[in-house]
Copies of this chain bind each other. A is one copy, B any other.
Amino acid sequence: MRIKFDEKYFMAKAIDEAKIALSMGEVPIGAVIVADDRIIARAHNQVERLNDVTAHAEMLAITSAANYLGGKYLENCTMYVTMEPCQMCAGALYWSRISKIYYGAEDPKRGFTALGNLMHPKTKIHKGVLEHECKELLDKFFISRRNLN
């Protein structure tokens, strides 16, 4: 059977990254960046491990993709990220000039859409890809944290 490289395929890869974050006690968010149907960067949230509020999955993936490409702009790239990017990550994605973003779960509190659309006008945004799976991981994490306190 031929693998279909569609948005669900790549979002599943981002979810794999989110699961790594979960296993390390991080808020389970993962991201991959794709160019020509190839994953050129994958990252998960590492805020706790790196002790750094800037170490969101999206930020690490942007840096990694630029490093791979040898150029700072991601004009022909697509990001798949399990949760709606925050203001910081939306700002970084703006500067990166990325072509497309697919995200899974919404973040009504700190997601960029709550602040109006902060993205580059050329960036196409699609939400709700494997939303249930993305949200389930986040819910699982926050419920386990609540039970700890």
Contacts and interface: CB of A to CB of B under 8 A. Distances in A.
Contacts of A92: 53-54, 88
B63 A59 contact: no
Contact of A118 (B59, B72, B87, B96): B87
A62 interface: yes
A76 to B, nearest CB: 15
A78 to B, nearest CB: 16
Interface string A42-69: 0000011001111000010011001100
Contacts of A118: 87, 115
A128 interface: no
Nearest to A98: B53
Given A52-B66, A88-B95, A91-B91, 14 more contacts: A51-B67, A51-B71, A52-B67, A53-B62, A53-B72, A53-B95, A54-B62, A86-B91, A86-B95, A87-B87, A88-B90, A88-B92, A88-B94, A115-B118
